[in-house]
Structure 1
Amino acid sequence: MNLSIHRLMRAACLTGALWLAGCTTYVQTQVTAFSDWTGSDATRTYAFARADEQQNSIEQKTYETLVASELSKYAFKEAPQASAHYRVALAYSVRGDLVTVRRPVYYDPWPWYGYYGRPFWGPWGGFGPYGPWGPTGYVDQSYPVYIHALQIRMTDRATGREVYKVTAVNSSEDASLYRAMPYLARSALADFPLGNGTVRTVTLPVDKNGGIGNETAASLDSTASGAAPAPATAPKTAE
């Protein structure tokens, strides 16, 4: 994996999980694009380029189907290798990491006492966290997070010139790359073609079945070429 993808994955890791239970949830994906795009609708034919280990992979074919569906929204048509104008290569990965969160610890010297003289340490016992003493210390809690990444690279078949490269990264508590891939593919190709050096966060809703909702994708935190990437933020939940 190259350094740029590694940095993006680290940024996504720091945001924590992107899938939460209840209400309406949004998955946020950080997208970075580099573009030298000059193509027209008349030349939008492509074929997928596969590395040796991808040649007979069912997983590869599954992800190609998702990307093909997104490309079709922009008048791209899949064609035989010998006649396609562009070659489209996919690279993808998932890896685990740990996120550490520092949380306050509260101590109340005057707890309430319940039945039989036993102390009661309920959420408001002796003022609890809202008492006048405040936190007495902090404890670090770590939990696992999985960073999913997809890179789509388009080259001119005749010349080998790279014309478009986009990387999408998000994170969640779910290790499954398969479940993350629809969000990665749609976020990566949303508003194709993006300008060279575009960095932004794409927000997609999750429906009640765990798939992408029908709401329009929202793009946040767009930055110009040369600006530092903004990490994807935690999901928004609408009651």
Structure 2
Amino acid sequence: MIKVTLICAALAAASLAGCAGPNADVHTARTAGAASATRALQGEPSYAFARMPSEDDSANRQRVEALLRDALAQHGFVNAADKSAHYLLSAAYDTRPATISVGGKECAAGECERRAEAPFALFGGRAYRHSLTLRFFDRMGGEERYKVSAVIADRNADPLQAMPLLVKSALAKLPFDEPSDWRVKLQMGEAGGAPNVISVEPLPTVDP
């Protein structure tokens, strides 16, 4: 089952309108066999980027990896050669038109993606949903050790505009531990500088 966070249209409109700083929803998945996310990342803090065959060395990809290198360095992680790195890091990102709904529900894989898009443009502009998923794999054994995803909505279709916020949110804690779902409140940096984290709070549990 895929857990989807559905935002009240009024709150989403206010957020997209810029009444407050941007918020990102962060979800972590506990690795099988790991007592906690903290223990899952107790190995040497070195990594190398792992790319799927479909991921080319585009300018966008290089920009994303540069942002991640800078952010991970602040947590003591070192970008190393593939053969000497303790972890292989997969970074996947996506931008698509957002769906605004009220309430929350569990849905099977594939069902949520088929939901109809919002039939209107919020305050004259279409909303977009940007996501970033980071997965740390043990280089020697290939096991996934840690996975974290960040999601944010705005009115800009360019994924690179949202990427500094997504990276900052996904790595606001490294690692996030229990619970699995968090809300990261951010503040845009001055004069195009890096965004700042204002608060990191667990999301309330939604009753079925």
Please give the TM-score of this superposition, normalised by the length of structure 1. Answer: 0.65
Q: Judge conservation of contact 2:7–2:100 (CA < 8 Å) in 1.
A: no
Distance apart, 1:218 and its partner CA = 0.6
Matched, 1:20 2:20: no
**How far apart, CA to CA, are the structure 2 residues paired with 1:148 and 1:100?**
17
Compute the RMSD of aligned alpha carbons: 2.9
- Structure 1 residue runs of 5 or longer lacking an equivalent are 102-139, 230-239
Q: Deviations over 1:124-178 (max 9, x none)?
A: xxxxxxxxxxxxxxxx982121000000000100011111000000111111211
Which residue in the other structure is 1:34 paired with? 29
Alignment of 1:43-122 (within 5 A): 43-97=44-98, 99=100
Q: 1:181 maps to which residue?
A: 163
Over 3 Å counting, the alpha-carbon distance change for 1:222 and 1:80 in structure 2 is same
Alpha carbons 1:34, 1:195 under 8 Å: kept: no
- The residue aligned with 2:154 is 172
State the partner residue of 1:218. 199
Take 1:75 and 1:141, find their aligned partners in 2: how far apart are those partners?
45
Distance 1:196 1:158, change over 3 A: farther
Give the CA deviation at 1:57. 1.9
Distance 1:12 1:178, change over 3 A: farther
Q: 1:88 & 1:151 partners in 2: Cα distance?
A: 10
Provide the residue aligned with 1:234 in structure 2: none
Give the equivalent residue in structure 2 for 1:137: none
Equivalent residue letter for 1:73: Q
Helix, strand or coil at the partner of 2:132:
strand
Whether the 8 Å CA contact 1:27–1:205 is kept in 2: the answer is yes
Cα distance in 2 between the residues matched to 1:160 and 1:196: 24
Q: Following the alignment from structure 2 to structure 1, what is the Cα–Cα distance between the partners of residues 96 and 25?
A: 16
Task: Determine if contact 2:86/2:138 at 8 Å carries over to the other structure.
Answer: yes
Aligned to 2:115: none
Percentage of identical aligned residues: 28
1:212 Cα deviation (Å)?
4.0
Count residues with an aligned counterpart. Answer: 179
CA distance in structure 1 between the partners assigned to 2:202 and 2:178 by the alignment: 16
The amino acid that maps onto 1:16 is A
SS in 2 for 1:191: coil
- Structure 1 residue 13 displacement after superposition: 8.7
How far apart, CA to CA, are the structure 2 residues paired with 1:12 and 1:85? 38
Structure of larger gyration radius? 1
Counterpart Cα distance in 2 of 1:151 and 1:52: 17
Query: Any unmatched runs of 5+ in structure 2?
Result: 103-117
Residue 209 (structure 1) shift: 3.5
Alignment partners' CA distance in 2, 1:185 and 1:31: 11
Is the counterpart of residue 163 in structure 1 residue 159 in structure 2? no
Higher strand share: 1
One-letter amino acid matched to 2:12: G
Residue 220 (structure 1) shift: 2.8
TM-score, structure 2 as length reference: 0.74
Query: CA–CA distance in 2 between the matches of 1:12 and 1:210?
Result: 28
Q: Which amino acid aligns with 1:183?
A: L
- Identify which of 204, 207, 217 aligns with 2:186: 204
